[in-house]
Structure formats: C-alpha cells, structure tokens
Structure 1
C-alpha cells in the first residue's frame, strides 16, 4: 500500500517536469562541445534550465527564438534528448549541427553535407554463416545487399499518421533544404583551424544526397566502401538518423548540417578527426547560424 505522502510526491514530480515553455522555438542540437560552445557565443538573452541531467539554453540566435542542447553521442542519447525537447518546448523545427565521417570519395575533410534523408545502417541482423556465405532466417528480410554477416533492415515506426510504417529513410524537410541551398551559395567556410592546420582543398557545401547513422564509430575502409555503394551515402555519423526518425514520428521539420572531420577510415594513416574536429565544428556552427538568419 502506498502511503498518502508518498503518493503525493509521486504525482507531483511528473507535473513539475512537464511544465511547458510555450514560446515557439527552433531546436538547435549539437553532439559535441565545440559546436555547442560556438553556437552559445552568439546567443542573446540566454537562460539555462536542466531537465533530467540535460542542459537546455533558450534565447535568440541569428534573429530566431531557439533552444540549444547537446544530443549526447550515439543513437539512443540523440533520440532521448530530441523527444524530451519536443515534450518540454514548443518546437517548430529541429536543426542539427555536427561533425561526420566522409563516405563519398568525391568529398574532402572540411566539406559540409546537408543530406536529403537519413537511414540507420546499423539496424541489422548479424546472420549465420552457411557454407561460404551468410543467410538470414526465413522470417527476416533485408532490402539491401549484405556486407558479410551484416544485413541492414528497415525500422517500423508508430506515429499519428496511422498504422505503424516500416521504412529505412527519414527525410529532411524540403522547405528547410531550399533555405540551406540558398545559404550554401552565399557562405564561405574556413580552411584552417586555430592551430593553423589547413585543408588541402577549399571546403565545399553539398546540399542533397544520403546520410547514414549507427552506434559505431566508423574507421574502416571496407565498410566505408560498402556504405557508399549500398546506400549511396555521402556521410556517416552516430546521431542524425535517430533525430530524423523522432522528428518524422512527431511530424516536426528537420534538417542536419554535418561537417566532415575525417574520412571514416578512407584516409591514409590515423583517423583525421583529432586534427580537424575543431575546424569542422566551427564550420558547421557558422553555417547553421547563417541558415537561421535566412529562415522566415
């Protein structure tokens, strides 16, 4: 039997956590501290609140009412914080700023990709070996060619659209992509970081194409090639597809800006992220600020 005092505590705690901020805002998310710090530097009227251990900072950025927060690294953290923000704030759109690994061989470190759609490449079956190959159980299927024992599967998502829907790709918002394309034409990106480590090629902005995400840091040339050919992916990261799925399920416009800090195992020598993460973060944040200024 629950005592009356305890019952009162249990009922009151959720109400306090669900007190809503009814100002329409754009959620600006980052995965890492560098983008987070860069975005905060230009935030006006900043006010911070902590919800379930996550800091949310409201204010005005590039003329827009926003709420800034870190997604946390990897898929579950990103999905959790996105849904928490949607339940606590009046979110009109979700804008993600972050770094990524380059998959398309035509891209270079420092380039920024704003993908049309995102999918979870690591939503998989690890199939059993049969002879010289690998086979799925008869009750499972994959729409994509496998890579050894790895068979990527689609995800079934429930939402207010109707019956649960099985799909792989979750789209960025077409209207937001149009704004990004205009901003890309007018924005120049930095090609050297604070330590004067410079890129060999001037960074470019590519709006369009595919992005994939999974809870695994990608630093393998063979898997990189498979992601390129199988999903026609431009970039790989550890959060965007999760955020895109939550945004789709809640019918909230979404877009992600991902600046390449490394080549996901495609470069020579050690992974390049340790050198170029700061440059990629600054470029992604700068592009997001220009994008916010151009939004209606």
Structure 2
C-alpha cells in the first residue's frame, strides 16, 4: 500500500512544484527544461493513478496518513488549483480518483456517509427561457442543435409562496432548461462536437467500489456524534455546478428530478475532462451537510466537514488497496 500511494502522489507533488514555482517566485506558462526532465523521470515509472483533490483542507488528511510517503527529491509541497487537463497532458496517467466532501440531497442518507455515484452531471449549464414562452415552445437556437429540451427544466413559479386559486402565480424568471456539455473526445472526429449530460464513471472502478459498500467510518467529533456510524454506499447520480447549494427547495428538486445524492462544485468537471480524454475515472464524496438544512443534524458543515473529509480519505485509501491488490 505504501509503495502504491508513493507512486500515486509523486505526480501530484512534482506537477505542483514544477509548474507553479520558479527562481523569481513567479509562475510562467512555459515549463522549464529542468522541470520537464523531472516529469520524464516520474513518467519512466508510470503509468499512474492520479489523485485530484478540491483543496488543501480535503488533502491534509491524506498527507497525514501513514500510507502517504513524500518524494524526498522534491523540496516542498504546496497546493494550487491544478487542472485535470494538465495532469493528463504532462503525466502518464492510467486513471483518476477524485475525492472530497459534498452536500447531501438524499434524505435516505446522513452526514458522514461516503457516496460513490455511477454518473455525474454538470447542472449549471442552462438555457434561460424568455418570459411568456412555455414548455412546448422552441428554445432560442434549439433548431441549430445548440440547446435542447430533452433533459428537463426548473419552473420558478413552482417555488413561490403566493398562489392564485390554488395555482402558482406566473414568475418573470420563467423557466431554465438544463443543457448537456459540449465535448470533443480524443478518439472522436476533429471539430465534431458531442453532447454529454450524464458522464459515467469507469465500469471496472465502480465494480471495485462495490467491495467498500457497507464500510463504516467514525461518526463523532469530540462529544458530538451522529445518529449512526457513517457508511459507504454506491448511488445513482451526483451533480456539480459553480454554485454552493444551501437551499432545501433546490436540493429537493435535484433529488426528485435527477435522483441526485452528492452535490459539489468540482466532480463533474473532472469527469468531463476524463471522459473527453478517455481516461478511467471515479469520484468518492463524503457528505458534510444536508444542503439547505431540514434535520436534527442538518447544515452543520462547520462541525462535521473535517469528519467527512477524513471519511472520504479512508474510503479512497481502501479503494486504492482493492484496485491495486
């Protein structure tokens, strides 16, 4: 296990060091010859499983794990926002594991549970329909193939406090229609776009993840404990967008409309890049709060975020040992 994790984290460490540091303290777009030589040295022992982490808070439990061994040839480690694309371009990566914490949209699960979705969707790309147009009317640029009504929509009038004769009063915000992302797969026809809303994780990785279902984790922070021990579970769908969801109505909409469990801001982006580059991918997300509140232990990310981060790391380490027995 120690050998595997040392190899896995090497690429991350050197990528941070080489791309984001220089003698003058500034970062440049070009990569120096010395840095490329270091990257080549790493790649000689590849390919690797790349680990992508949202931020240092979620990375620290991994760095503190006895399974992590730093490369002594790298002078220091710092965290920067490294894109999945850079990782896949510069290093020999045969797969990507993404982990972290997430909000919960599934009332059947609780804070601390570790979720492993089969599919990820980016739910932040919309066509915002003009006021006065209805659901049967074509969207702007729909005829060109730029937009679609196939995925579904959110009607703002359904979420108003006021009503008239038992029916929602119309709303000037009208409807937003969810849209798929444009992708250009590495093995596709150049300049011919494809569309993807649901991005599947790798089938083999998801099958391996079944072996950690039922795994239990710590459920207390000091004297504050959850109703039951958190557990790992595979779920149908997860969602990401450039929005922090702390609203119960939208949480319930995502769960009822798309069967979403974890809600975060990164996983779908990683999934889309891996899908485009044809690289195996899986995401493991521990639930830190019930998005928008609504239960006795809801909306307590300040208390349970550290516990969720540790649970995500524990599940990820177990997954790695099963992936590389």
TM-score scaled by structure 2? 0.73
Q: Which has the larger radius of gyration?
A: 2
State yes or no: 1:174 paired with 2:203: yes
Pick aligned residue for 1:155 from 168, 175, 181 = 181
Asked if residue 27 in structure 1 is aligned to residue 27 in structure 2, the reply is no
Aligned match of 1:137: 140
| Corresponding residue of 2:103 | 101
Corresponding position of 1:5:
none
Large movers: runs of 4+ above 6 Å = 131-135
In 2: Cα distance, 1:103 partner to 1:88 partner: 36
Deviation at 1:144, TM superposition (A): 2.6
Instruction: Please list, as runs of the form range in 1=range in 2, the aligned pairs for 1:60-99 lying within 5 A after superposition.
Output: 72=81, 81-99=83-101
Q: How far off its partner does 1:232 sit?
A: 1.1
Q: Distance in 1 between matches of 2:116 and 2:309?
A: 14
Relative to the length of structure 1, the TM-score reads 0.79
Q: What corresponds to 2:229 in structure 1? A: 202
- Determine which structure has the larger strand proportion and give its number: 1
1:225 paired with 2:248, answer no
Contact kept in structure 1, 2:232 and 2:315, CA below 8 Å: no
Aligned partner (choices 296, 306, 310) of residue 282 of structure 1: 310
Paired residue secondary structure (2:111): coil
Q: CA deviation at 1:209?
A: 0.7
The within-5 A match list for 1:247-262 is 247-262=274-289
For the residues of structure 2 that align with 1:204 and 1:11, how far apart are their CA atoms? Answer: 43
- Greater Cα shift, 213-222 or 152-161: 152-161
Partner of 1:127: 129
Structure 1 residue runs of 5 or longer lacking an equivalent are 1-9, 57-68, 73-79
Check if 1:272 corresponds to 2:314. Answer: no
SS of residue matched to 2:195 = strand
